[in-house]
Structure 1
Amino acid sequence: MPGIPQWSGTPSIKGSTEAMRMALLTTSLIGLQFTWNVEMTYCTPYLLELGLTKSKISLVWIAGPLSGLIMQPIVGVVADRSTSRWGRRRPFMVAGTVLVSMFLLLLGWTKEVVKMFSNNMDEQATKSATIALAVFSIYGIDFAINAVQGSCRGLIVDTLPIPKQQMGSSWASRMVAVGSLVGYGAGAIDLGAIFGPMLGDTQFKQLTTIAALCLCLTVGVTSWAVTEKVLLSDGTEEHEKQGPVQVLSTIANKAMNLPRGIAAICFVQFWAWIGWFPFLFYSTTWVGEIYLRYEAPAEVKAAGDLTGQVGRIGSTALIAFSIITFLMSVVLPWFVRNPEDEGPGFTPRPPQSIASFVTEVEKYKPSLLTAWTVSHCIFAGSMMMAPFVQSLRSATLIVAACGVSWAISCWAPFTFLGIEINRLAQPNRSKYGHLARNSIEMESPVLLHLNHALEESQEATAESSGAYLGIMNLYTTLPQFVGTFISWGVFTLLEPAKSTGLDTESGMEGQRQSEGPNAIAVCLFIGALSATVAAMATRRLKRYQKH
C-alpha cells in the first residue's frame, strides 16, 4: 500500500511583484523557443546545402516527435521521484541545457569537425560524414531539448498553487512568443555585420552560438529565481516503483479510456497538428524559395551562403508572424469570453458606473470555442493559398496571418483541458478548494506539515493534470509522424530531381511555369485540409462544454 509522499520546504520565486515572479518563472521558455526557432528556421536549408534531399530531410524531422514521445515521459518519471536537494526539475533543466548547447555548437561547426578527421577520405565520403554528423547533432538537440522543455513546464505546475496555474500558462505563452520574436529577429538580420567573425564565419554558426548562450542564460535565470520543494520520500517501497515502460503502459491505457470531453479536445489537437507540422518546419524555407524562384536577381543567387539568405528572408516573414502572435496572446483574452464564466450560476458584477456598458459588450464577445474554430479556418484558408503564391509579399502576408491562429492554438486547448480536469476533480476541490487559494511564497521556504490537507489536494490534482497533459502531448506528437511521412511522399513525388538542393530555379515566365508546383506549398495545402477537419471537430466540442 503506497504511503503519503513527504516533502521539505515550499516553492518560492524571487521578485517583489506577481508579474516579476511570473516572468522569472517562465524566462527559461524564451531561450527554449529561441533554440527551437533556430532549428526550424535554418536546419532545412542547411541540410539542403550539405546535399541531403528534401525527401530524406522530411525523415530527419522524425527526431522532433520521436524525442517528444520518448524523452518527456521518461524524464518526467525520473524527475517525479527525484530526491535531489535542488528539487525535481531544475537539475534536469540544467543538465539538458548543457547537452543542447554542446549539440548546437557541433551542428554549427559540423564541416570543421569532419575535416579534422577526414585526411584520408575522398570528397564523397567527407560529404556523407558531414551529413551524418549534422543529422546526429539534430537528433541530439531534439532529445536533449525535450528533456529541458518537459522540466520547464513541470516547474510551472510544481511551483504555482492551483488558482495561479492559468496565469502561469498565460505567461508561458507570452514568453514563447517573445522567444519566437527574438529568434526570428536574430535570424533576419546580418549577424556577421554586427559580430564579425567572432561567433563564426556564417550566419548559421553565429545563430547556433547565440542560441546556446541564450538558452544557458534564460535557464540559469529561472533556476536561480525559483526554489523547489524537495521530495524526501514518494511513499512507495523500492520494488513498487514503476519504470519508464510501466509508466508508458499506464499512459497508453489512460489514453484508450479518456473521458469524452478530454478525448474530444485531443481529437482536435491531432488534426490541427497535422496541419501545423509542415508550417512550423518548412515555412521559412518556403518563403525563401518563393523569393529565390520569382524575385531574387542573379547576383543574389551567385553571392553564396544560400542558407543564410533563405533563413534571413524566411525569418523576416516569421517576425511578422511572431509579432501578431504576441499581440493576439495579450489582446484576445480581453475580447473572448472565458469558458468558466459561461456556466449557470455565474453573475458578472462590474462596477455600477460601467455595468450597462460591460453588459452590452459581453453580449457581442465570441466564446473561446468560436474563436478556436475561427482560428482553424484562418489557418486553413491561408495555407490553401500557398500553392498559388508567386511573390515574397504574398507569402509574408499568409505567414503573418497564421499568427492569429497560432496564438489561439497555444491558449485554447490548454484552457479547455484545464476546465475538464477541474470538472473531474470537482469533489476534491469542494473539500479543499478554500485551502488552495494561497499565494506564492516570496523568498524563504518553510517546512511543510507532511500530511497537510492542502498538500494532499494539490498533489492529487497535479497527478491527474500531469497524466492528461502527457496524453494530450501524445496527440500533439503523433500527428508529427503523420506530417513527416506526408512530406516525404510529396517531396519524393514532386521534386525528385530538385530535392538535392534549394529550389533556386529562375528564368523566363514560361520556364517558371514548367518548374511545376513547389513541394513545400503542396504540404502546406494538405495541412490546410487537416485544419478544416480540426475546425469541424472543434464545433463538436460544444456538446461537452455544457455545464
Structure 2
Amino acid sequence: MTGFAALPVAEDGGQNDDVHLVGVSKIQGPRWLQLPIITIGLLGVQVLWSIEMSYGTPYLLSLGLTKSAVAMVFLAGPISGLVVQPLIGVLADNSRSRFGRRRPYMLIGVLICTSAMLLLGFTRPFATIFTSSGSTANDILTIWLAVLAIFGIDFSINAVQAVDRALLVDTLPPSEQPDGNAWAARMLGVGSVAGYFIGNVDMTKVFPFLGNTELEVLSVVGSLLLIASHVATAVNVKEKVVVSSQAQKKGLLNEMKEIWVNAKSLPSTIFQICLIQFFAWLGWFPLLFNTTEFIAELYKRAHPELTAEIALEEGARLGSRAMFYNAILSLVASIFLPFFVAEATSRRSMQETLSTVPPNIWIRWFNKLKVHLASLWAASHMIFAVCMLATFFYSGVFGATLFTTLSGFSWAVTQWAPFALLADAILSDQGDEDASSILLDDTRSRRISQAGSEMQDPERQFLVGNDDGDEHPEDEVHSFRSSASMDEDRNRPKPEYGSLMQNDSARMSHLDVHGVGGSGSHLEVGALDHNKPRDGNLAAKAGIILGIHNVFIVIPQFIITGISSIIFAITGAGETPELPLPSGNSTVSGLVTREGISPSGGGPNSYAYIFRLGGISAIVAFVLTVKLARHLKHTA
C-alpha cells in the first residue's frame, strides 16, 4: 500500500502547495551496498571533471586560442554553477515524470555531458566530416566545436552534480545523511586520486583502440564511467512521484523568480550553512587555483642555478605531487572520520561491534572519541586557516607540501559535513508533520468534555505510506491507513480515551480524496500548527535549496579571481616564464591555467598574500561554524 507524502494543505495565505508526492523512496540491493550505489555517480563526475580541467586548456591553446580567450571560455564553469544548479533544482522539484523527479534530469544531463566530452576529444575528426582537413575552415570549425564542447560539459556536469546531491537528500532519512554524504566525499576522493593516477599512464598504449591521442582515449573512458555509474544509481534507486492537478507550467522568468523568493526566505540554519560556505570557499579557491604555481615558484627561487623553464617544470611536478598527497589524505579522512561523528550511523554500528569484542576498554575509549558534525566542521576550518596562514613561517617546497597535504583533512570534511548538515536541516524543517504523512481527523474516537455536551477537537492522526516498493503508486491513491504513534507527534498532548479505544494503533482514519476541502471530508484541511510559520515542506524543495547553496560557493570564485588579479598587478615586477602543464592529470593545475589568473611576475609573495587572505576568511568561517554548532546542540 502506498500513501501521499504530502497532500494539498491550505497555507496561511490560502494557496495550496503544488508538490504532492506518492510512493516511497528507497535504494534496492544489500544494505552494505546501498550508500555506495546512490553516491557512485559522483565518482564519474569527478573523473570527467578532472579530465576537462587538465586537458581542456592545453587543447584549446593548441588550437590557436590566446590565454585570455581560453579564460573567457572557461567562465562557463562558474556561470553554470551560478545559474544551472538552482534552475535544475527548481525544475526537478516540480517534475511530474512517472520515473521520479531527479533521475530523468540526471540521465539527460549524463547524455549531454558524455556527448560534449566525446565532441571535445574528437573535435578535429568531427570537423573533418564537414570541411577539408588542414583548411582554414576546418581550423575555425574545430575551434568553435571545442568551445561548444566546453560549454556543454560545464553546464551539463553542474546539472548532473546538482541532481546527484538532491537525490541523496530525497532518498535517505535524516539519520543516514551523515553517512550518505560521507560516502559522497569518498567517491569524490576516489575520483580525484584516479584522476592523478590515469594522468601518469599512457592511455593510448593501454587502450589503443579507443583513440590516437591521450584526450581521445580519456574522453571515451571518462564518458563510459559517467554513464555506467549513473545507470547503476538510476536502476537501483526508487523515487517518490509528483502527482499534482493544480501545478501550472512556469516560464523561465517565473522559475528564476521562484529561486529568488526561496533564497530570501531560507530558514535560519540553512542560511547560516550557506554563509559559512561563502567564507570557507574564499579560502579554498586560492588553494585550488594557486598551489601548483606557488610551489613551482618556490622551487625556482630555491634553485637559481637552473634555467627558468627547467625549474618551473620540476616545480610544477612537485606542486602536482603535493596535491596528490592532499587527495590521498582527504580520501583516508573521509573513510575514517564518520566513525567519530556522533550522528553517523556507521559509528553506532561500530559501537555495537566493539561491545561484543573483549576487552571492554575499547568501547570505553571509543565512546570518548566522538564529536558533533558541526564541531568537526568548525575544527576543519581552523586547521585549514593554520595551513593557509603558515605562509608566514615557511619559504620552501617542503613546508608548502606539508601544509598542502594537511589541508586534505579539511577538504574531506568540506566535501561532507556541510551537505550532511544541510540535508538534515531540509528534512527536519517540516513543521509538525512528517514529510511522508498527512493530517487526518479521527472519525471514531472523540473526547467528551466533562460537561458531556461539547465535543473537543478531534484527535489528529497521521497517514503514512509503507515501504512495499510499489512500482505504480498512482493506482492505489484511494487506499490509506494511519497511526497516531508517529515520532513527530510525541510532543502533542494526547487526549484521553475510554477503554474501548486505548490501543492507538487500532484506531483507523479514512480519507475521501475527492472530498478534500468539501463538506463531510475526513481531512482537516489547514489543521496545522499555525504557531509555526510554514514553508510548504522544505523536503519538496531540496533541489532548489541545494542550488542556492551552490551559489554561495560559486560567488567566491569570482571574488577571489578579481582579488588575485589585483594583487598580481600590484606585486608583479616583471614577466616570468609561462608555467608548463605537469605531466600528471592534475585537476588543480588545470584549474590554475583555466581561470586565467596566472601572474605576470607574481611570485611567492603574491601567492602568500592570497593564501593569507584565505586563512583570514577561514577563521571567519570557523567563528560562524562554532555558533552554528552551539545552536544545533541547543535545539537537538
TM-score (norm 1): 0.77
* Pairs within 5 Å for 1:255-334: 255-284=263-292, 315-334=320-339
What CA deviation, in whole Å up to 9, does each residue of 1:116-140 have, x standing for no partner? 5685549xx96x8876654443222
Distance (whole Å) between structure 1 residues aligned to residue 323 and residue 425 of structure 2: 33
User: What is residue 417 of structure 1 aligned with on the other side?
Assistant: 422
* Pairs within 5 Å for 1:44-443: 44=57, 59-110=72-123, 119=134, 121=136, 134-161=146-173, 163-196=175-208, 198-202=210-214, 204-231=215-242, 233-238=243-248, 241-284=249-292, 315-338=320-343, 358=363, 362-363=367-368, 365-385=370-390, 393-421=398-426, 424-425=429-430, 427-429=432-434
Aligned: 1:447 with 2:470: no
Contact 2:296 2:315 in 1 (8 A): yes
Q: For residue 318 of structure 1, report the CA deviation from its aligned partner.
A: 3.2
Q: For residue 222 of structure 1, report the CA deviation from its aligned partner.
A: 1.9
Contact 2:44 2:229 in 1 (8 A): yes
What CA deviation, in whole Å up to 9, does each residue of 1:351-372 have, x standing for no partner? 6988887566545644434422
Q: 1:437 to 1:365 in 2, by over 3 A?
A: farther
User: What is residue 603 of structure 2 aligned with on the other side?
Assistant: 517
Which deviates more, 106-115 or 133-142? 106-115
Q: 1:382 to 1:263 in 2, by over 3 A?
A: same
User: What is residue 343 of structure 1 aligned with on the other side?
Assistant: none
Distance (whole Å) between structure 1 residues aligned to residue 465 and residue 621 of structure 2: 38
Which deviates more, 88-97 or 314-323? 314-323
Q: 1:528 to 1:168 in 2, by over 3 A?
A: same
Query: 2:332 is matched by which residue type in structure 1?
Result: L
Distance (whole Å) between structure 2 residues aligned to residue 56 and residue 494 of structure 1: 24
Distance (whole Å) between structure 2 residues aligned to residue 89 and residue 431 of structure 1: 18
What CA deviation, in whole Å up to 9, does each residue of 1:64-115 have, x standing for no partner? 2211222123223333333334333223222222221232233334566678
Q: For residue 254 of structure 1, report the CA deviation from its aligned partner.
A: 3.3
User: What is residue 534 of structure 1 aligned with on the other side?
Assistant: 621
Distance (whole Å) between structure 2 residues aligned to residue 218 and residue 354 of structure 1: 42
Aligned: 1:479 with 2:556: yes
Distance (whole Å) between structure 1 residues aligned to residue 568 and residue 366 of structure 2: 49
Q: For residue 395 of structure 1, report the CA deviation from its aligned partner.
A: 4.2
User: What is residue 511 of structure 2 aligned with on the other side?
Assistant: none
Query: 1:178 is matched by which residue type in structure 2?
Result: V
Q: For residue 404 of structure 1, report the CA deviation from its aligned partner.
A: 0.2
1:26 to 34, 39, 45: 39
Q: 1:424 to 1:474 in 2, by over 3 A?
A: same
Distance (whole Å) between structure 2 residues aligned to residue 49 and residue 491 of structure 1: 26
Contact 1:188 1:315 in 2 (8 A): no
Distance (whole Å) between structure 2 residues aligned to residue 527 and residue 439 of structure 1: 49
Secondary structure, aligned partner of 1:427: coil
Aligned residues: 516
Which deviates more, 33-42 or 418-427? 418-427
What CA deviation, in whole Å up to 9, does each residue of 1:11-32 have, x standing for no partner? 45442x1121222222211101
Q: For residue 39 of structure 1, report the CA deviation from its aligned partner.
A: 2.9
Distance (whole Å) between structure 2 residues aligned to residue 163 and residue 367 of structure 1: 13
Contact 2:89 2:542 in 1 (8 A): no
Q: Structure 1 regions of 5+ residues with no counterpart?
A: 341-347, 505-513
TM-score (norm 2): 0.67
Secondary structure, aligned partner of 1:213: helix
Q: For residue 214 of structure 1, report the CA deviation from its aligned partner.
A: 1.5
The structure that has the greater radius of gyration is 2
* Superposed CA RMSD: 4.6
Distance (whole Å) between structure 2 residues aligned to residue 503 and residue 388 of structure 1: 28
Query: 2:201 is matched by which residue type in structure 1?
Result: I
Q: 1:9 to 1:339 in 2, by over 3 A?
A: closer
Q: 1:54 to 1:373 in 2, by over 3 A?
A: farther
Q: 1:159 to 1:372 in 2, by over 3 A?
A: closer
User: What is residue 539 of structure 2 aligned with on the other side?
Assistant: 462
Q: For residue 42 of structure 1, report the CA deviation from its aligned partner.
A: 4.1
Distance (whole Å) between structure 1 residues aligned to residue 127 and residue 390 of structure 2: 42
Distance (whole Å) between structure 1 residues aligned to residue 319 and residue 216 of structure 2: 17
Query: 1:254 is matched by which residue type in structure 2?
Result: N
Q: 1:430 to 1:98 in 2, by over 3 A?
A: closer
Contact 2:340 2:369 in 1 (8 A): no
Distance (whole Å) between structure 1 residues aligned to residue 92 and residue 436 of structure 2: 29
Q: 1:141 to 1:476 in 2, by over 3 A?
A: same
Which deviates more, 537-546 or 104-113? 104-113
Secondary structure, aligned partner of 2:253: helix
Contact 1:44 1:285 in 2 (8 A): no
Q: 1:230 to 1:373 in 2, by over 3 A?
A: closer
Secondary structure, aligned partner of 1:105: helix
User: What is residue 39 of structure 1 aligned with on the other side?
Assistant: 52
Q: Structure 2 regions of 5+ residues with no counterpart?
A: 1-14, 346-351, 439-460, 489-535, 582-599
Q: 1:310 to 1:106 in 2, by over 3 A?
A: farther
Q: For residue 337 of structure 1, report the CA deviation from its aligned partner.
A: 3.8
More helix by share: 1
Q: For residue 142 of structure 1, report the CA deviation from its aligned partner.
A: 0.8
Secondary structure, aligned partner of 2:101: coil
Which deviates more, 488-497 or 261-270? 488-497
Query: 2:471 is matched by which residue type in structure 1?
Result: P
Q: For residue 382 of structure 1, report the CA deviation from its aligned partner.
A: 2.3
Contact 1:50 1:131 in 2 (8 A): yes
Distance (whole Å) between structure 2 residues aligned to residue 100 and residue 431 of structure 1: 34
Q: 1:297 to 1:196 in 2, by over 3 A?
A: farther
Query: 1:517 is matched by which residue type in structure 2?
Result: G
The share of aligned pairs that are identical, in percent, is 34
What CA deviation, in whole Å up to 9, does each residue of 1:153-192 have, x standing for no partner? 2333333455544443232222222222222221233434
User: What is residue 345 of structure 1 aligned with on the other side?
Assistant: none
Q: 1:495 to 1:544 in 2, by over 3 A?
A: same
